[in-house]
Chains A and B, each alone.
Chain A
């Protein structure tokens, strides 16, 4: 199973600051995802990548950008953070082929003041 690592685990920042959340996985999997979790809304897909040259917008990509620096690394950036981007962010990669499963990192809690 995939080992997904996210940094930072917690971050407090101010409105207008640029923030990068980093994700790496150790299994060499090609597909990676960024989700956002808000109370009462579940998890919603921000961006996903099927390989280094394939980046796709998800359901709520406005205000975010991503970078797939290598097969193992997928970073999420907030160019100018705003308070309604306060949320728990998850990175994920796929499990066994053709199972639909995702394996998640431990999450990055971001607070924008």
Chain B
């Protein structure tokens, strides 16, 4: 069975600084997708970034980038130039290829301070 582990329950960062959220996963699959979702206080689940396992290049979306280490089964999220609006819960998620049944980690609560 696949599992997703987020070992940092809470993180904090000062505005304009960079922060990295950790995620590890366990799977015997070779093809899969990994995601980071953001949940602000409004509780809406918002897709931040997506990575396909067969792609070696790390995904990037504006200030958000990932460090995908397939052999180590690690998928960290880097937020550059942190903004107050980045304050949220962040969930790492996994799904096998050709399915969208997501398995989530337990989340990391990120607080951005002015």
Contacts and interface: CB of A to CB of B under 8 A. Distances in A.
Contact of B106 (A41, A99, A100, A103): A41
Interface residues of B, number: 25
B35 interface: yes
B9 A40 contact: yes
Contacts, number: 60
B33 A42 contact: no
Interface residues of A, number: 26
- A interface, over-half SS: strand
A31 interface: yes
A42 B106 contact: yes
Interface of B: 4, 6, 9, 32-33, 35, 42-45, 47, 50, 91, 95, 97-107
